[in-house]
Amino acid sequence: MSELTHASAPKRFVGGQLLGSSQLVLGVILAVLCIAISIAAPQFYSEANIIAILRQCALVLIVASGMTMLIITAEVDLSVGASLAFVGCIGMAVLNSTHSLTLGLLAALAFAGGVGLFNGLVVTRLRVNSLIATIGTMMMLQGGVYLFTREAVQNHNQLASFTDLGAGYVGAVPVPVILAALIFVVAYVTLRFTTLGRYLYAVGANEKAVRLSGLRSERLKLFAFVLTGLCVGVAGMILSSLMNAGQPTAGRGFELTVIAAVILGGTSLLGGRGSLFGTLLGVLVLKVIDNGIIILGWNQDLQMVVPGVVIILATYLDIIRNKANVR
């Protein structure tokens, strides 16, 4: 939106080098945070606390992996929070009636993927601005989930495999963290090392050029929307497993946390610029702040204020550094 930041076009094409240093700033912020918190509260480095942080990162990172790809194609999805709650309810309901983890997961993925497909079709076929289209979907899902269920869908299936999805461990590592790591690595490799990944960047940087060179830009965007939806499906099932219920009120403001993490990681809302590694750092910074506020015994409402300051500050530092580089 603000063209001022990206006024000089060449910057986008030498983006690679700049991106590296943008992550450097974030890495330094993360290191300073960790050191400061551990001086004030030594229990920060306990094994239990590190696992707690990673577990909290998992949900955000899963959805942020898809969202990073989507924002790189210059689109955005605000419906992920509302979809997360709906998916949890539907997944739990299917589990309760079928007692099959596979069917429950499939239902959740199908629903969330369907939401992504709907968003993608509205944006690519009907040419509705994605910010507006997904606000519309968000409203429909928020209303729809209450039409589906007025109260939380309780866990009546007691499937051990389902409980493990959120609360289980492999060795010392929680299952959600493993899932998040898997999804992150697949997304990272796709974006970094495959032609598909390069195409996604290209669509975001210059959609017209991509279309003129014979690629179906709509398909690529549609792909990113569906992928984001599928990520929400996985995250929704993990969340309902963690809460042991499908909560229609879950996921309020989740979309903003995810987008904040992606932006913090240096991905440009204008598209064509950004990286998943940055997103990982963004998620870590936000969640370390959250955790620090808790173990320092500060008022938990600061969990909203501090990320707000950090997002603005990090973006501003990035701009200042870019200006310095250009000179």
Partner 1 sequence: MSFAATAPAKAQPSMLVRLVARQELALLVCLILVLAFFSFTVENFFSVRNLTNVLGQASLPLIAGIGCAIVFISGEVDISIGSLVATIALPLIIIMNDTNSLWLGIGGALLFGLIIGVVNGYLTAYAGINSLIVTLGTMFIMRGGVYLYTGQRAIPDDASLDSFIALSDGRLFNTIPYSAVIAIVLLGAFAYMMQHRPFGRQIYAVGGNQEVARLAGYDVRRVKFICFIISSLLATVAGIILAARVGSAQHTAGLNFEFQVVAATVLGGVSLAGGIGSLTGMALGVLILQFLSNGLRGLGLPTEWQLVITGMIIIAAVAFDEAKRRRANGG
| 20 versus 308: smaller Cβ distance to partner 1 | 308
Among 12, 38, 41, 136, which residue sits at the site for partner 1 (rule: CB under 8 A)? 136
Among the residue ranges 18-26, 134-142, 170-178, 198-206, the one whose residues contact partner 1 (CB under 8 A)? 134-142
CB-facing half-sphere around the CA of 231: CA atoms within 13 A: 32
Chain positions 282 to 321 lying near partner 1, rule: CB under 8 A, are: 299, 301-309, 311-312, 315-316, 319
Taking phi over 0 as left and psi of -120 to 50 as alpha, with beta for the rest, 113 belongs to alpha
Tell me, rounded to whole angstroms, the distance of Cα 226 from its chain centroid.
Answer: 14
Tell me, rounded to whole angstroms, the distance of Cα 221 from its chain centroid.
Answer: 17
| 259 versus 283: smaller Cβ distance to partner 1 | 259
User: Least Å distance between CB 122 and partner 1?
Assistant: 6
Among 29, 74, 133, 242, which residue sits at the site for partner 1 (rule: CB under 8 A)? 133
Tell me the C-alpha distance between 198 and 128, whole Å. 25
Tell me the C-alpha distance between 91 and 187, whole Å. 24
Among the residue ranges 35-43, 101-109, 135-143, 272-280, the one whose residues contact partner 1 (CB under 8 A)? 135-143
Chain positions 141 to 170 lying near partner 1, rule: CB under 8 A, are: 142-144, 146-147
Q: Say whether residue 25 binds partner 1 (CB under 8 A).
A: no
Between the alpha carbon of residue 121 and those of residues 62, 107, 134, the distances in Å are 23, 20, 11
Query: What DSSP element (H or E) covers 154?
Result: strand 153-154
Chain positions 246 to 285 lying near partner 1, rule: CB under 8 A, are: 256, 259-260, 263, 269-270
Residue reference for tokens 């990162």: 57
Least Cα distance to 82 among 260, 228, 255 occurs for 255
Among the residue ranges 45-53, 123-131, 176-184, 215-223, the one whose residues contact partner 1 (CB under 8 A)? 123-131
User: Least Å distance between CB 269 and partner 1?
Assistant: 6
Using DSSP, state whether 173 is helix, strand or coil: strand
List of residues contacting partner 1 (CB under 8 A): 1-5, 122, 126-129, 131-133, 135-140, 142-144, 146-147, 256, 259-260, 263, 269-270, 299, 301-309, 311-312, 315-316, 319
